Amino acid sequence: MQRVSDDRLLKNDSYINGDWLSSGEKFSVSNPASGEIIARVSNAGISETELAIESAKKAFPAWSAMSANERARILHKWFELLMQHQHDLGIILTSEQGKPLAEAKGEIAYGAAFIEWFSEEAKRVYGDTIPAPSGDKRIVVIKQPIGVVAAITPWNFPNAMMARKAAAALAAGCTFIVRPASQTPLSALAMAELADQAGIPAGVFNVVVGEDASGMGKVLSQHPDVTKFTFTGSTPVGKLLISQCASTVKRVSMELGGNAPFIVFDDADIDAAVQGALISKYRNAGQTCVCTNRIFVHEKVIQAFTDKLMTEVKNLSVGDGLTEGVEIGPMISQQACDDVLKLIRASEKLGASTVLGGQPHIAGENYLQPTIMTGVKNDMPIASNEIFGPVSAIIPFRDEAEVIAMANDTEYGLAAYFYSRDIGRIWRVAEGLAFGMVGINEGIISNAAAPFGGVKQSGNGREGSKYGLDDYLEIKYLCMGGLNS
Ligand code: SIN
């Protein structure tokens, strides 16, 4: 791995109860850009996961009793440390995940922003008073931390997906255990080192890294001492985890798959729409849940839009994310490339045309050519599945009602985007799209101040924003009676 300036960030063991827990059995973490093994990590399993839960349970009374101001100060220190180490953390992230260094550093800032945001929100957990039905009573509502939170986070955002869950949980007064994806454990472990340096007490924040996804997932989702479970990942795995959480009736929040429509109306600013599609489709090599999946373009502007998009996509530089100027890194694995290629081939057979790319890229076995397909229909595999790769699937449409119906014709409901300059249409379409987040003349919508989350089979709960703490708080109603003298 490229050298980092602070070696303390390179950790290879789970972080449990404030200690680094080594084990004899190791697993390898490799750089998807080259296949090079960059770390051998202690392979934690069921017993380490149980130990982490026990530690989080023990740490809960003191952490939840700490004043919000004190928790805020510690979280703010963690935020500052993350930003001070942004470059090193970016190198670690690119080395294990593949995204270009500039994008990785952007992710570090994005993840840290949630910690900063929730360090501030920690002080704003307000209750309520409610007029009681009789004069001798008073009704008061208080909010309390839900307890021990378990999280499973994905490989596509190894820093930010964990940061935005942990930040909200810790700010609310909960304690936390996370199992990061085994492809990308190093970013989470580096964050744990900085959590330790920031003064987060032992047991409040725990990271268990291991290959036994199913065994560790079962413990985290079924253990009676875990009161809340949160997951970012695919819809099928989310469904399984929800069913496992049912045995102990845990609170769950799920950020699952997406199939984002990106609609370009004939009154749109086409250049702006092309830039929006480019960033929303090709960032992280198309491997985000909010990536544009289906591009609907009005037939009057489809040629102009496609030509301009082609010019931009042809110029994207593909390669190792640590090489200066690279804009698209590798996919996470060869299997991920094969899955995308299968969708392309199956849709070609049904009549879609690949007008750019569509093949493995010469940069290496985990790389795909940035691709554009035209003549796509909404029910073709490249449109009905979440692509999770750098492929634009362009679908023509004629009118507003038709395109809203096509956009909503999916079991997913995470993000949607559209471009129009007509104010009446903007309201109609924004309200008509059955998605949790809508970008209007905007291709990048994620930030700490906004509620991130989906509807339908894209999940539930919201991360970030003033709503983000709610998922980690219980509402308690206090009824005071006998107040008349
Ligand atoms: C995701 O892909 O799940 C998250 C993307 C984001 O936060 O922008």
CB 316 within 8 A of CB 441: no
Q: What pLDDT tens digit does each residue of the chain (485 aa) get?
A: 889 999 999 999 999 999 999 989 999 999 999 999 999 999 999 999 999 999 999 999 999 999 999 999 999 999 999 999 999 999 999 999 999 999 999 999 999 999 999 999 999 999 999 999 999 999 999 999 999 999 999 999 999 999 999 999 999 999 999 999 999 999 999 999 999 999 999 999 999 999 999 999 999 999 999 999 999 999 999 999 999 999 999 999 999 999 999 999 999 999 999 999 999 999 999 999 999 999 999 999 999 999 999 999 999 999 999 999 999 999 999 999 999 999 999 999 999 999 999 999 999 999 999 999 999 999 999 999 999 999 999 999 999 999 999 999 999 999 999 999 999 999 999 999 999 999 999 999 999 999 999 999 999 999 999 999 999 999 999 999 999 98
Alpha-carbon distance 235 to 436, whole Å? 15
DSSP H helices in 68-140: 68-84, 86-97, 101-121
Sign of the torsion formed by the C-alpha atoms of 320, 321, 324 and 326: positive
Compute CA distances 192 → 199, 205, 272, whole Å: 11, 8, 40
| Distances from the Cα of 354 to the Cα of 177, 223, 279, 280, angstroms | 44, 48, 20, 20
Mutate to test the pocket of ligand 1, among 157, 237, 293 (most ligand atoms within 8 A of CB): 157
Closest alpha carbon to 343 in 411, 300, 286, 297: 286
Hey, whose CA ends up nearest to atom 6 of ligand 1?
A: 446
Which sign, positive or negative, has the C-alpha torsion 274, 279, 284, 290?
A: negative
Within 6 A (CB) of ligand 1 lie 156-157, 232, 255, 288-290, 446, 452
HSE, side-chain direction, 13 A CA sphere, residue 247: 12
Handedness of CA 287, 293, 298, 302 (dihedral sign): positive
Pairing assessment for the beta strands 292-298 and 391-397 based on DSSP bridges:
parallel
Q: How far apart are CA 163 and CA 109, in angstroms?
A: 10
Residue with tokens 């303390």: 8
| Residue among 199, 142, 154, 192 nearest 12 (CA) | 192
- The reported pTM is 0.97
Domains of the chain: 7-256+458-477 (3.40.605.10), 260-409+415-452 (3.40.309.10)
Residues involved in catalysis: 255, 289
The closest alpha carbon to 18, from 192, 190, 178, belongs to 192
pLDDT attached to residue 150? 98
Please tell me the distance between residue 3's alpha carbon and the centre of ligand 1 in angstroms: 28
In the reported structure, the alpha carbon of residue 133 is separated from the centroid of ligand 1 by a whole-number distance in angstroms of 45
Span from the CA of 180 to the centroid of ligand 1 (angstroms): 15
Atom of ligand 1 nearest to the CA of 110: 7
